[in-house]
A and B are shown apart, each in its own frame.
Chain A
Amino acid sequence: MDEILEILEELNLDADVSSCDTLVDDGILSSLDLVTIIAELSDRFDITIPAREIRNENFNSAAAMFEMVERLLDE
């Protein structure tokens, strides 16, 4: 989880990334930010994030991202 928060903090977003749960819905994360996050998550956790997983609900909060990473690590 800390690593995900670190990735989000590096993006200098206009929100409290530890508590916000509408990062995509409210347009806080741009498409370009999302791709940066996907690249970082793939790199740091050695996972492949398939296109089907790129949904708002998987990137709306740090917790949702963490859940997705755990699921992909499990598969």
Chain B
Amino acid sequence: MLFTSYRFIAFLALLFLVYYLIPKRFQWLLLLAADVLFYACAGWKGLVFLCVTVLVSWLAGMLMGRSFKEQKSFLKSPEGKALPREERKVWKKKRESYRKFVLTLALLADLGILAALKYTNFFISNVNSLFSAELAGVDWVLPMGISFYTFQTVSYLIDVYWEKVEAENNLLRVALFTSFFPLLVQGPISRFGDLKETLYAEHSFDFKGFSFGMQRILWGYFKKLVVADRLLPAVKALCGAPDQYNGAFALIGALFYAAELYADFTGGIDITIGVAQVLGIEVKENFIRPYFSRNIAEYWRRWHISMGTWFKDYVFFPMSAAPRLMKLSKKIRTRWDGFGRKMPVYLSTLVTWFLTGLWHGAAWNFVVWGLLNAVIILIAEEFKPLSTRFREKFPRLTGSFGYRVFEILRTFLIMCSLRMLDCYRNVPVSFKAFGSVFTAGKWREAFSGALLELGLSVWDYRIAGLGVLLMFLVSVLQERHGSVRELLWKKPALPYVVFPVLALLVLCFGAYGVGYDASQFIYNQF
């Protein structure tokens, strides 16, 4: 069920209505039923794998939670208090080992399903090309949103193990957390600790929350239908024929893709957060105007935040602070002090970004994309002292508006260049296309009518351009004043003008109609 389909709109309307009509204590159960229906529409085979993940996570969480409870009550009991310090330590360690065993098994099961279904063909194709073998690929189902819900359950399990959250004993509640339908399509990858307060709560109808949610949904549809889907044919044409469309066309393709991806992904997240808000459920933001970032590290703190923090919390920190790596670092420091100190950070950054790339897709273009991100972040880190000295020497220049714009544009262009690996889905082709921007020219050709042969008319460009301009102005407003909806809410009549106009814009200028094939959200394929 696509977010952009009429079926989904009808599904939402019915859900919102029933949600506020039934007794509040049944609301979360209704959501679970809605999840099952939503997921079943994508195929029952996927539902089977989702159920296995839910069962494993519930059981493992419960076993770990029970172990913590037993440990606490024993240590508080007279028998526990009577134990000498060393024996208490040994006793606690035994319990810890048991929980570690349960966690490991559960992670192997959850991540094993993800690895098998998503990466088997990638593995086979690499074996084939490495050993000139002819192993046949598999035709296994890839459940919708598997990367998202698996990461959510992994975070739940590790958080229970780290005692950041209490284990949930109710299987149906774990099922709702794992399968909450707005999050299934493209995240945000939410944490149990953040979601549980509002996910299972009883909600009365709140007009402001309902209005804000609906406005957010509308804004998401505007981004997706008016901007992203309108630009899609041009992006497809430019990236589909890299030999024909090189030089200036490659740069234009990267810029179009930047706008399309932003509108598509943030639009989808707006719909997700908006749906949750109508239901009274709080979902954390996934974007904070990333194209205003002044460096790559900042960009990754503002783009797809839930994925970045997931990798930071569950891969980067545990790995870089791992006792073995610390010991190795200490050893290296005796010979090469500087390198020894930085080694854990370097290694963890590279591994984290290798996995981030792989998470995006089972292909080398994503792996190279991830590793290039890591290399740029590490180079920037190395140049930090030089940059600090430069800022201290030229405070007026580096504090000026112009310098800020330069930094923003630099970051934006670097990200566009890296994203070529995503556009072309082929490493050598992407590098060739990037090189052609500086060597092949074609500027005059690009602006003498060739852009009108990409499947977009002059009006399409005008509408997409105005859409991008509107997104930019809203972002500037948000950057300066915070929530635009809060600003409008303070002026009584304005929301009743602005949002009907926005709805009209979506209806009139959305990229649909006869022959239009509603496209899936880009991040849904991850």
Contact = CB atoms under 8 A, between A and B. Distances in A.
B364 to A, nearest CB: 26
Chain B interface size, as a band, is 20 to 34
Chain A interface size, as a band, is 10 to 19
Given A52-B162, A52-B163, A32 B321 contact: no
A38 interface: yes
Interface string A24-39: 0001001110111011
Please indicate which of the listed interface residues B318, B320, B349 has the most CB atoms of chain A within 10 Å of its own CB: B320
A62 to B, nearest CB: 19
B1 interface: no
Nearest to A34: B317
B15 interface: no
Interface in A22-63: 27, 30-32, 34-36, 38-39, 42-43, 48-52, 54-55
Q: Is the interface of B mostly helix, strand, loop or mixed?
A: helix
Contact of A31 (B316, B326, B330): B316
B326 A51 contact: no
Contacts of A27: 301
A31 B349 CA distance: 10
A48 to B, nearest CB: 5
Interface string B326-357: 10011000000000010011001100000000
Contact of A51 (B318, B330, B385, B388): B318
Contacts of B317: 31, 34-35, 51, 54
B323 A35 contact: no
Nearest to A14: B388
Contacts of B345: 32, 35-36
B381 interface: yes
A43 B330 contact: yes
Contacts of B236: none
B164 interface: yes
A48 B320 contact: no
A12 interface: yes
A33 to B, nearest CB: 9
14 contacts: A32-B345, A34-B317, A35-B345, A36-B341, A36-B345, A38-B321, A39-B326, A39-B344, A42-B321, A42-B326, A49-B321, A52-B163, A52-B164, A55-B164
